[in-house]
Amino acid sequence: MTAPGPRILDLGTRIEPFGDPVGALPLFDATFAELRAQEILRSRVPAERLTFADHALATHAVLAAFAKATPGGRPAALALPAHPVFEALAAVSDVRRDGDRLIYDVFLDAPADADLDRLRAEAVPTLVALEPRTLARALPRLGPPPYTEPVLMSGAFALHVQHWVHVLWAAKAWVQALLPFAEGKRRRGSVIGPGADVHPSAYLEGAIIGAGAEIGASCVLRHCYVGPRSRLSDFTKLAHGVLGPDTHTLADATFEHVVALGGGTLTNLLLQDSLLGRQVFLTTGVVFWRDALGEPITVQHRGVEVDTGRKVLGGCAGHGSILGARTIVAPGRALPNRTTVVMRKAEGVFKVADAPPGTPMCWNEGALVPVTEVEPGYAPEELA
């Protein structure tokens, strides 16, 4: 007989630009709904006591503390302290703030017939007093302060996944919650899954390596997840990120605070703070611009621009996108599924002028021409 599960309030939440129902969104080597079910199981809270909006998540440590702090007898709503790291995760969502508390759509002992509006009105907020462990991440010293932001390192958090930014933020934070339960050999605080091949020169720190993955020479992997059957070529660097199953990186690629949902081929000299859908092809010349020069970065949500409160945020590429050389994406922008960008037409080379071998050339109105045609008398320093 199947044990009763939690009640999930189906609100029809879909995550753009992917179009996936939030529960079916691929994360790590599972779906969002499957990962939430794992967290419930690990919390040891009877699942039938729990009710979630379809977009709501709380990790096992939070759920266990929530149940312990709830006296019972009437519906309760999960509340966390308004710590800066929890406030940052709550941006662009309908997490409610009540004084110094953040209130989530996670409920205990809710009536079986209660809808979300009723639960929000009637459930008593129960504060789970967490002091999250964080790492201060240095930010570019552009514009006004702050010049650091907290990075969650404890794996205990709650979140409403209602936008692509929440997928990016949740996946990075979730690595620490998954690490103690990952299957495989332990190596200096990391876990190497069955059949994975890690080169002896690779450096791992707080990393999860999925079954059958291949990690090349001199790779550096910190606080990250590499999915099953993925192949990371030599000198790949990944920090505070997630590469889903069947991801292939080319040599010397660098990713920081990046989440890729899997199945893609990726290379970039430095990609940061961005989300890539399934089966994305990304080349070295692609730029997801991530720095705010003045006001915090905004994103499109439900047809309007919404402030993320972030000084640093890249962009998002939908499933099946092909992003070639010279693709430049502004901060906070999302590309639809199956977007193909190979170059900016204005910078295309459609004609090459005749010139002796070794002549310095430059782009000019769609053609490569000798530099001296554009700048008479100019001599490149490289050839001096």
* 73 φψ region: left (φ > 0), alpha (ψ -120 to 50), beta (else): left
The predicted pLDDT at position 263 comes to 97
Question: Is pLDDT above 60 for 137?
Answer: yes
pLDDT confidence bin for 380, thresholds 50/70/90: low
The predicted pLDDT at position 38 comes to 97
The predicted pLDDT at position 360 comes to 77
Global pTM value: 0.90
The predicted pLDDT at position 72 comes to 78
Rounded average pLDDT over 116-137: 95
Question: Is pLDDT above 90 for 294?
Answer: no
93 or 327: which leads in pLDDT: 93
Question: Is pLDDT above 70 for 374?
Answer: yes
Amino acid at 65: A
Give the H or E element holding residue 125.
strand 124-127
Q: Return all residues near 53 (Cβ < 8 A) that are at least 6 apart.
A: 8, 9, 11, 13, 105, 106, 116, 160
CA distance 167 to 26: 10
pLDDT confidence bin for 347, thresholds 50/70/90: low
CA distance 182 to 194: 11
Question: Is pLDDT above 60 for 2?
Answer: no
CA distance 193 to 227: 10
Question: Is pLDDT above 70 for 375?
Answer: yes
pLDDT confidence bin for 45, thresholds 50/70/90: very high
76 or 343: which leads in pLDDT: 76
CA distance 61 to 65: 6
The predicted pLDDT at position 277 comes to 98
Q: What is the mean pLDDT of the chain?
A: 93
Cβ–Cβ under 8 Å, residues 136 and 150: yes
Cβ–Cβ under 8 Å, residues 235 and 252: yes
pLDDT tens digit sequence for 229-257: 999 999 999 999 999 999 999 999 999 99
The predicted pLDDT at position 1 comes to 44
pLDDT tens digit sequence for 157-201: 999 999 999 999 999 999 999 999 999 999 989 999 999 999 999
Domain boundaries, the chain: 7-177, 222-341, 349-383
Architecture of domain 7-177: Alpha-Beta Complex (3.90)
Q: Which of 29-43, 100-114, 294-308, 349-363 has the lowest mean pLDDT?
A: 349-363
Would you tell me which CATH number, out of the four given (1.10.4160.10, 2.160.10.10, 1.10.3720.10, 3.90.1200.10), belongs to the domain 222-341? 2.160.10.10
The predicted pLDDT at position 341 comes to 82
CA-nearest of 68, 71, 99, 101 to 83 is 101
Q: Return all residues near 316 (Cβ < 8 A) that are at least 6 apart.
A: 17, 164, 168, 274, 275, 276, 277, 333, 334, 335
Query: What percentage of the chain has pLDDT greater than the value 70?
Result: 96
The predicted pLDDT at position 366 comes to 76
Question: Is pLDDT above 80 for 382?
Answer: no
Q: Which of 5-19, 230-244, 266-280, 356-370 has the lowest mean pLDDT?
A: 356-370
Question: Is pLDDT above 80 for 119?
Answer: yes
